[in-house]
Amino acid sequence: MKEDKKEGGIPSKKTQENYEKQIKELQDKVESLDNSWKRALADYNNLEKRTTEEKENFLTLVKIQILESFLPFFDNLEKIQEHSKDEGLRLTLKDLQKVLKNIGIEEIEAEGKDFDHNFMEAIEVQPGEKNKVLKVIQKGYLLNGFLLRPAKVAVGQQ
């Protein structure tokens, strides 16, 4: 491109306007590319978060399915312990309870508490203090604060 120059090597007004136009176009292109890059980065970060969340949800569902299958065996071992008073079984159950606690499972404390339909299922009504849990028939459990299995209880009714 041949430049129009005035005397002394200064570009003409027309050439300066062309330069300014080219600079403006390049600035607009840089801004557009920068915005596109930022959007792509934000999309990637959102995808990464969503993928991580989906993995965590999947793992939680798998853990819930495994634990729901496991709990009846745990219940049976506790019933056997009640009747046999076997020291080895008592120690094994104690270790199992530690493992369950370490993976986020906690027993729902129900006996003597007010009945809470969010965490308990009343399967018997007996004479006693109204809406108090008189007896736990089957233990309930929470997994990281979420209901895994409700406690099956006997509730008092006057």
105-158 folds as Nucleotide Exchange Factor Grpe; Chain A, domain 2 (2.30.22)
pLDDT of residue 38: 96
Cβ neighbours around 140 below 10 Å, total: 21
- Cβ–Cβ < 8 Å for 67, 149: no
pLDDT of residue 12: 86
In the chain, domain spans:
12-103, 105-158
Question: Which CATH code fits 12-103?
Answer: 3.90.20
User: How far apart are alpha carbons 58 and 87 in whole angstroms?
Assistant: 38
Burial grade of 138 (CB within 10 A; 0-12, 13-18, 19 or more): middle
pLDDT of residue 134: 97
Equal fold, 12-103 vs 105-158 = no
Give the list of residues 6+ apart from residue 112 with CB closer than 8 angstroms, or none.
Answer: 132, 133
**What does the pLDDT profile of the chain (158 residues) look like in tens digits?**
455 555 567 878 888 899 999 999 999 999 999 999 999 999 999 999 999 999 999 988 898 899 999 999 999 999 999 899 889 999 999 999 999 999 899 999 999 999 999 999 999 999 999 999 999 999 999 998 889 999 999 999 97
